[in-house]
């Protein structure tokens, strides 16, 4: 079940929201949310829902061991088990074929076909780890109730595609929160905004990407085709993932949870480091606080900082998938960030912001080409086309017809990726609220109509 489906929008969500608001007690609200979350995950993963419950029970036992023990090595042992167990499951289900296929091939043994990766395993594994580490660092965060811990890990708004919610950020709200009419209105507005991003922009951009790629395959590669594909895909993946994050944050607000922002207009960045402070903020926060800083961060000299960045970005690439293109994608951004920090910093400080912004966006587009193609041959062909490799023509007449056909939506989407609302004063924003509410209501209705009429409705980050 996905947020942008009729089953969810017209049945599941209204029933859960109504059931939640029917109770005043937080305990009963938690019970409704827990049952709804287990059903939500079980809808898509009828077997792995038991794995989710098992891993949650295991980490609760480990956290209980840390809470009750006064001996440091016992606490560390419990922490190690709480981290290694879910990570082992993640490595086996997501990376088993990628890691072991070369060995099996070298030994001449049959290579098993890769199985289906459990939905959302990368996200809830990281949330399990954040809870275990947070309890180890601060015993006051220990959750006595295994059911409340299961609610934190399985809460359906952010279960399958984030944002990654640190336990310490919502630990108080599990026991003490208010679900007011104002929260409901604000949450529904945010949800409608995210739904519109997904259905009206991301889905259409996704169809455009497939059309451009099919056109290139039929009529030949071109420089314009490569860049246009990268440009439209950058819009698709942004509105797909930020749209899901908006829906998750909006749903959380409806139920009384305040999730942190996951995107902050990344395409206005004037540097690669800034881009990654604005894109998928929760993932960057996880790697920074639970890996980069514990490794020493930038406190142990430049060689150690260089190594820490290399490790973090290698793992960031692998986190997105068991494929060589994701490894190369992570290393690509490592090289850019390392160059930005260690080599080009004095030069970059002198450049105009507009030039830095355009350069950053172009470099990000190249990264999205690496990210998109899991087939290395196809990826290299498109990277070559970006720079006219192999005597690739500037454009083809057939491609120009496609661009003319889809000329308006990319411009609308590009405009929507900029913080236009910041052009208005706070007073003007308040005056425009009735129009905004009317507009978002229209967006919601149009999105539902689009869902009824279209079959293309995947979430890109469900793959991860």
Quickly list DSSP for 198-235: IIIIIHHHHHHHHHHHHHHHHH---HHHHHHHHHHHHH
Please check the confidence at residue 67 and state whether its pLDDT lies above 80.
yes
- Contacts (Cβ under 8 Å, ≥6 apart) of 119: 41, 44, 45, 48, 160, 462
| 164/188 same-domain check | no
CA 414 – CA 419 distance, rounded (Å): 11
Averaged pLDDT of the chain: 86
Q: How confident is the model at residue 376 (pLDDT cuts 50, 70, 90)?
A: confident
In Å, how far are 18, 182, 189, 341, 343 from 301, measured between CA atoms? 55, 49, 47, 13, 15
| 114/54 same-domain check | yes
| 255/369 same-domain check | yes
Instruction: Give the pLDDT mean for 318-326.
Output: 84
- Region for residue 264 given its phi and psi (left: phi exceeds 0; alpha: psi -120 to 50; beta: otherwise): beta
Q: How confident is the model at residue 458 (pLDDT cuts 50, 70, 90)?
A: low
Residue-wise pLDDT tens digits, 242-290 = 999 999 999 999 998 999 899 999 999 999 999 999 999 999 999 998 8
* 372 burial via Cβ count (<10 Å: 0-12, 13-18, 19+): buried
In Å, how far are 115, 173, 279, 382, 404 from 363, measured between CA atoms? 34, 40, 15, 14, 25
CA 241 – CA 300 distance, rounded (Å): 35
| 108/195 same-domain check | no
Can you say whether the dihedral through the CA atoms of 74, 78, 84, 89 is positive or negative?
positive
Please check the confidence at residue 101 and state whether its pLDDT lies above 80.
no
pLDDT of residue 102: 61
**DSSP states of 146-205:** HHHHHHHHH-GGGTTT-PPPPHHHHHHHHHS----HHHHHHHHHHHHHHHHIIIIIIHHH
Spacing of C-alpha 302 from chain mean position: 30
Contact 189, 254 (CB under 8 A): no
Q: Decide which of 133, 157, 177 is a domain's last residue.
A: 177
Q: How confident is the model at residue 426 (pLDDT cuts 50, 70, 90)?
A: confident
CA 43 – CA 457 distance, rounded (Å): 17
| 280/243 same-domain check | yes
Domain count, the chain: 2
Query: Whose CA is closest to 243, among 192, 282, 195, 188?
Result: 195
Q: In degrees, to the nearest 5, what angle opens at C-alpha 33 toward C-alphas 29 and 38?
A: 150
Contact 212, 178 (CB under 8 A): no
pTM over 0.85: yes
CA 35 – CA 38 distance, rounded (Å): 5
Position with higher pLDDT, 421 vs 372: 372
Residue 380 lies in a domain: yes
Residue 233 lies in a domain: yes
Q: Decide which of 144, 177, 210 is a domain's last residue.
A: 177
Please check the confidence at residue 366 and state whether its pLDDT lies above 80.
yes
| 431/339 same-domain check | yes
Q: What are phi and psi of 391, to 5 degrees?
A: 55, 40
| 272/417 same-domain check | yes
Instruction: Give the pLDDT mean for 105-129.
Output: 70
| 286/198 same-domain check | yes
Q: At what angle do helices 223-254 and 203-219 cross, to 10 degrees?
A: 160
Please check the confidence at residue 134 and state whether its pLDDT lies above 60.
yes
Residue 195 lies in a domain: yes
Contact 450, 197 (CB under 8 A): no
pLDDT of residue 253: 92
Residue 86 lies in a domain: yes
pLDDT of residue 110: 54
| % of the chain exceeding 90 in pLDDT | 36
| 131/228 same-domain check | no
Contact 183, 256 (CB under 8 A): yes
Q: Decide which of 127, 150, 177 is a domain's last residue.
A: 177
pLDDT of residue 455: 60
| 147/211 same-domain check | no
Please check the confidence at residue 220 and state whether its pLDDT lies above 90.
no
| 265/281 same-domain check | yes
- Region for residue 177 given its phi and psi (left: phi exceeds 0; alpha: psi -120 to 50; beta: otherwise): beta
For residue 54, what are the domain limits?
6-177
Instruction: Give the pLDDT mean for 31-51.
Output: 88
Residue 1 lies in a domain: no
Please check the confidence at residue 113 and state whether its pLDDT lies above 50.
no
Please check the confidence at residue 59 and state whether its pLDDT lies above 50.
yes
Query: Whose CA is closest to 270, among 360, 181, 405?
Result: 360
| 16/94 same-domain check | yes
pLDDT of residue 370: 94
């Amino acid at each position: 079940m996905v947020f942008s489906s009729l089953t969810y929008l017209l049945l599941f969500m209204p029933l859960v929201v109504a059931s939640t608001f029917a109770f005043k007690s937080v305990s009963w609200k938690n019970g409704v949310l827990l049952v709804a979350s287990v059903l939500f995950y079980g809808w898509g993963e009828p077997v792995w829902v038991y794995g989710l419950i098992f891993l949650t029970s295991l980490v609760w036992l480990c956290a209980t061991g840390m809470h009750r023990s006064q001996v440091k090595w016992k606490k560390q042992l419990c922490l190690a088990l709480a981290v290694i167990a879910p990570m082992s499951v993640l490595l086996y289900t997501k990376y088993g074929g990628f890691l072991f296929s070369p060995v099996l091939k070298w030994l001449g043994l049959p290579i098993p076909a890769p199985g289906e990766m459990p939905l959302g395993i990368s996200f809830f594994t990281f949330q399990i780890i954040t809870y275990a580490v947070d309890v180890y660092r601060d015993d006051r965060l220990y959750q006595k109730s295994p059911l409340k811990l299961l609610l934190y890990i399985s809460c359906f708004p952010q279960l399958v595609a984030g944002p990654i919610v640190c336990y310490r950020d919502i630990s108080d709200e599990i026991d003490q929160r208010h679900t007011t009419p104002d929260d409901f209105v604000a949450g529904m507005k945010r949800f409608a905004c995210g739904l519109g991003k997904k259905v009206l922009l991301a889905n259409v951009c996704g169809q455009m990407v497939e059309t451009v790629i099919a056109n290139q395959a039929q009529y030949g590669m071109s420089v314009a085709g490569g860049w246009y594909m990268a440009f439209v895909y950058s819009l698709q993946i942004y509105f797909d993932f930020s749209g899901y994050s908006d829906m998750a944050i909006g749903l959380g607000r409806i139920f009384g949870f305040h999730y942190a922002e996951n995107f902050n207009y990344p395409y206005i960045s004037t540097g690669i480091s800034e881009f990654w402070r604005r894109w998928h903020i929760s993932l960057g926060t996880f790697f920074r606080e639970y890996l980069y800083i514990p490794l020493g961060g930038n406190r142990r000299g430049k060689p150690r900082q260089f190594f820490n960045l290399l490790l973090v970005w290698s793992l960031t690439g692998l986190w997105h998938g068991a494929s060589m293109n994701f490894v190369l994608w992570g290393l690509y951004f490592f090289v850019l960030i390392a160059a930005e920090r260690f080599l080009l910093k004095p030069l970059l400080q002198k450049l105009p912001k507009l030039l830095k912004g355009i350069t950053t966006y172009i470099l990000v587009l190249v990264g999205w080409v690496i990210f998109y193609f899991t087939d290395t041959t196809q990826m290299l062909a498109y990277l070559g086309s970006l720079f006219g490799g192999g005597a690739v023509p500037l454009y083809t007449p057939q491609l120009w017809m496609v661009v003319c056909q889809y000329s308006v939506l990319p411009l609308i989407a590009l405009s929507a990726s900029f913080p236009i609302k910041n052009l208005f004063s706070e007073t003007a924003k308040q005056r425009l609220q009735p129009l905004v509410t009317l507009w978002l209501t229209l967006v919601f209705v149009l999105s539902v109509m689009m869902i009824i009429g279209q079959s293309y409705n995947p979430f890109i980050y469900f793959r991860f």
